[in-house]
Amino acid sequence: MFNIEEIRQKARKWLTDEFNEATRLEVQEMLEGDENKLIDAFYQDLEFGTGGLRGIMGAGTNRMNIYTLGMATQGLANYLKKNFRDRVIRVAIAHDCRNNSRYFAETAADIFSANGFEVLLFESLRPTPELSFAIRHYKCQSGVVITASHNPPEYNGYKAYWDDGGQVVPPHDKGIIEEVRKIKSVKEIRFNADRSKIKILGKETDELFLDEILKLRLSPDIIDKHASMGIVYTPIHGTGVRLVPEALRKFGFRNIINVPEQDVVDGNFPTVKSPNPEERDALNMAIEKAISTGAELVMATDPDADRVGIAVKTPDGKYELLNGNQTAAFLMYYTLSRYKEKGLLKGNEYVIKTIVTSDLLDRIAEAFGVECFNVLTGFKYFAELIRKMEGTRKYIGGGEESYGYLPGDYVRDKDAIGSCAMIAETAAWAKEKGMTLYEMLIDIYCRYGLYLEKLVNIIRKGKEGADEIKTMMHNYRNHPPNEINNSRVIRIDDYEKLLSLDTRTGKTRNLELVRSDVLQFFLEDGSKISVRPSGTEPKIKFYLSVRTNLASPSEFNEKTQLLNKRIENIINNLNLR
| Gap between the Cα atoms of 377 and 50, Å rounded | 8
Distance of CA 333 to the CA centre of its chain: 21
Bridge partners (DSSP) of residue 145 are: 94, 159
Q: Compute the distance between CA of residue 189 and CA of residue 131 in angstroms, rounded to an integer.
A: 24
Q: Which of 101, 113, 142, 149 is catalytic?
A: 149
Is it true that the peptide bond before 171 is cis, omega within 30 degrees of 0?
yes
459 burial (CB, 10 Å; 0-12 / 13-18 / 19+) is exposed
**What's the order of all strands across the beta sheet hosting 90-95?**
53-56, 155-161, 142-146, 90-95, 118-122, 198-201
Residue 441 has phi, psi (to 5 degrees) of -65, -45
Q: Are 306 and 128 in contact (CB under 8 A)?
A: yes
What ranges in 449-517 are assigned the alpha helix state H? 462-478
Which three-class secondary structure state does DSSP give residue 269?
coil
Verify whether residue 554 is a known catalytic residue. no
Query: Alpha carbon of 478 to those of 74, 448, 469, 520: distances in Å?
Result: 40, 35, 14, 13
Separation CA 395–CA 135 (nearest Å)? 19
Residues 281 and 285: their CA atoms lie apart, in Å, by: 8
Q: Which positions ≥6 away from 46 have C-beta within 8 Å?
A: 53, 54, 55, 61, 62, 63, 64, 68, 72
Three-class SS state of 405: strand
* DSSP code, position 164: T
* Cβ contact 306:52 at 8 Å: no
Query: In the chain, what is the straight-line distance between the N-terminal and C-terminal CA atoms, in Å?
Result: 27
Contact 397, 425 (CB under 8 A): no
Catalytic positions, please? 149
